[in-house]
Amino acid sequence: MALLLAMVFPRFLPSEDTKALSFSEFMTAVQTDQVKTVDMNNQTFTLSGELKDGTKFHSTATQNFPSTDEAALMKQHGVNFNPKTPSSNWLMSWATLLLPMLLLIGFFVWMQRRAAGQMGNVMSIGRSRAKAYTTDRPSTTFADIAGYQGVKQEITEVVDFLKMPERFREIGARVPKGILLVGPPGTGKTLFARAVAGEAGVGFLSVTGSDFMEMFVGVGASRVRDLFQQARKMGRAIIFIDEIDSIGRKRGAGLGGGHDEREQTLNQMLAEMDGFETSEGIVILAATNRPDILDPALLRPGRFDRQIVVPLPEADERLAILKVHSRDKRMGPDVDLEVMAKATPGMSGADLANLVNEAALFAVRRGSKQIERIDFENARDRVVMGARRESLVLTGEEKRATAIHEGGHAILTAVLPHADQLHKVTILPRGMALGVTWSLPEERHTYSKEYFEDMICRAMGGRVAEKLVFGHLNSGAANDLEQATGIARRMVREWGMSDRVGPMAWSGHQQVFLGEDLMTQGREYSDETAKLIDDEISRILHEQETRATELLDRHRPALEEVAALLLERETIEGADVARVLQGSFGDTRIPAGDEA
């Protein structure tokens, strides 16, 4: 670097102001007695000097300068001529030799460091990628988790053991080595694991199942060994493995052989779980939403011998979750979180968090400084039914067909005795649908045969309404037919709701990746039974279509009026449909004043 500066820096030094003269002008100045001194570089033939008035100048001479006549002329006019041959610059001479050598040495140093870095990466590829948290982290506790009191009580035993292990040793009790958190996506399984570590105040190692998998053979097993070694060094600690199903699937099944990398990783994990005692203060928590595909050896006593189900939240728990996610947001006075909790059945904690955030985004788009009820309504519509398709423009005929279709769904939802409560009907295109009839399912855990029959009849409402009004069918009922056929198939095959088939159940065809052997896949019943199942599915569908036709034919005036309201307003509430039916027949099960 110093060498380069010495070579380059002088070029950028400021030079004195000099006057540039051509060679002819220089010779003219000599003839007119203006030149005082001249210095010439014999190598570059550049001239520099001073005029008699003190002006500095520079010029360039010809290669044969000075000739005899030019030398005599300068002597005659008293010019002090000084030809010079500059000595060679030793720095530049050495630079031409040293610079290539320095570049070559630098290249070899860079290659050596790169090779050392790659070798370090190769040597560390078998190390665990678990994220370690100290006793100060995570700071999450059970107080940060809204609802789920039953899950908290069940998992508190692990916290007590990590805090006071001597109490369990005195009585001879053994705490489970592994606890498996099972539940749908978004219910907070990972949050519970962090809360256990936060409550117990112990070390926390977090890793996902995919972190064990690598293209190199044996890497997964090596990372499992390193993970448990880290936990033992921490003393009392919690190992949390998220998405354990990625490495814990059944062995010896599916398309993979018995020697693939995933199965070797699972074998190493089973060996490590058998290799430590609960007295060491190490507890393994794992989370999955697919417990049915886990290897039986992983779930036996002594390994993951306890499963804690983290279900979707109930109405009270949804209210608590909404309050947690609304704490740092500016809420309007008309927002009723209790009503919103009742109107969001089936939503997980992650869904509710997204709902509150979507409501805040809608408020910003409106230019409001607080979140109001209309924002929550729009956010719920977007989450449940999809974003509104502003660019899609329906023709008048398509719009009327959509209104009749959704009106058929709405009328049947309102009059069927076991159907869910009608909430809203719209013919505004949302998601992939041209219109949506939205009902609010009640909190229930078992469903009757009559409920499923009403669901199929309701699904047939759009198709039947179009056939009654227009006398022909179109493709708009494709999704309805798919939903109705799926329900009827499960009624016959799985739930034993067919008198002809009887109390028999056949599960759906499992995929190979779920752990079933490809060669053993086959139908569990004879051709005669298959025909009987098909006949029963067809019978259920035709019966409910006939039922839907009779009901809509009876309520034809109400259907036309509901369709007219949809064409006028584009979106109507369930109470509007109730008032239409009460005005026509007075036999709807929805009170006229209910705003659903």
**b/e per residue, 130-156, with b = 16+ CB within 10 A?**
bebbeeeebebebeebbbbeebbeebe
Cβ pair 502, 512 in contact under 8 A: no
Catalytic residue at 406? yes
β-strands 178-182, 203-208 pairing:
unpaired
The structure tokens listed for 214 are 């690598």
Residue 424: CB partners within 8 Å, gap ≥ 6? 381, 436, 437, 438, 571, 572, 573, 574, 596
**b/e per residue, 527-542, with b = 16+ CB within 10 A?**
eeeeebbeebbeebbe
Residue 292: CB partners within 8 Å, gap ≥ 6? 514
Helix (H) or strand (E) holding 552: helix 527-554
Residue 260: CB partners within 8 Å, gap ≥ 6? none
Our separate counts of H helices and E strands in the chain read 21, 14
Please say whether the dihedral angle defined by the alpha carbons of residues 167, 169, 173 and 176, taken in this order, is positive or negative. positive
Residue 25: CB partners within 8 Å, gap ≥ 6? 59
**Of 406, 453, 536, 545, catalytic:** 406
**DSSP-assigned letter for residue 188:** -
Of 244, 287, 285, 297, the C-alpha closest to 157 is 285
The structure tokens listed for 276 are 């430590």
Structure-token match 């000739």, residue found: 67
DSSP bridge partners of 317: none
Axis crossing angle, helix 461-470 with helix 449-459, rounded to the nearest 10: 40
Cα dihedral value 85, 86, 92, 94, nearest 10 = 80
Active site residues: 406
